[in-house]
Amino acid sequence: MHDGCTRRQVRASSQVCGNNRFASNIFSGDSMGTSADQQLLNVPNALTAARFVLALVVFALIPLEQYLAALIIFIIAASTDWVDGWWARKYNQSTKFGRMFDPFVDKIIICGVFVFLAAAPNTGKFAWTPDSGIHAWMAVLVVGREMLVTALRSMIEQEGSDFSAKYAGKLKMVFQCVAVGASLVTLRWFAEQAAPLPLWIAYTLHGSVWLAILSTLYSGGEYILAAAKFFGR
């Protein structure tokens, strides 16, 4: 009788431990014995996919001159970039697909928004720059830098070396997002207000745009020097 009770207690304890391991695996990305790199449908990748869809919505809203809606959706999309990275690190859900898909979507939304803003209607409110504050050559520079860094990263990582994002590159992304936000605010003001643009908006726009461009050049140069050192070994 005592041995039967003991066996039942052992089985119950094993079942509880198994349940605990299953719950833990759900958050760690190891459910059903599957490695994290084999899972595509996890929270970080879902957030990245949502960011991609939101980027397409922003691209559609800018030509329609729905600048406020575009601004709100852009902010939501940009915020998911931080959330998916935090979730992947916290719950060990970083995957090979995610490491490729996440920077790809980041480049799509930034490059695409710069292109659409450079093509936004220009009423000549500024004497020396488009209403959006973003010249066509600026959009070309942003897109070209991203293409170059992607090509260099692909070649170097194929050789088994690390070519991960540097601090300057992350700071560049921040300046670019601020520039996009300021540009959308400015375009909305011009589209809906007859009064002159407030100086603080104008200073924020031009300051953030030029910070974005300078940081794009600097971070691109930093990657080029790192690649030159690698190939010169």
pLDDT in tens, 154-187: 888 777 776 666 788 889 999 999 999 999 999 9
Per domain, the residue ranges of the chain are: 1-34, 39-231
End-to-end CA distance of the chain: 74
6 pLDDT higher than 80: no
Average pLDDT over residues 20-33: 45
Q: Decide if domain 39-231 falls under CATH 1.20.120.1760.
A: yes
100 pLDDT higher than 70: yes
Give the model's pLDDT for residue 71.
97
Give the model's pLDDT for residue 18.
46
Contact between residue 107 and residue 113 where contact means Cβ atoms under 8 Å apart = no
Give the model's pLDDT for residue 164.
66
Half-sphere exposure of 80 (CA within 13 A, CB side): 23
Average pLDDT over residues 74-91: 88
Average pLDDT over residues 126-136: 93
Lowest mean pLDDT among 1-10, 75-84, 168-177, 218-227: 1-10
Number of residues written out for the chain: 233
pTM (two decimals): 0.79
Give the model's pLDDT for residue 14.
47
Give the model's pLDDT for residue 165.
67
**Which range has highest mean pLDDT (92-106, 200-214, 219-233)?**
200-214
Helix and strand counts by DSSP (H, E) for the chain: 7, 0
Give the model's pLDDT for residue 223.
87
Give the model's pLDDT for residue 23.
44
37 pLDDT higher than 60: no
3-state helix, strand and coil shares in percent for the chain, rounded to the nearest 5: 80, 0, 20
Q: Which residue has the higher pLDDT, 63 or 12?
A: 63
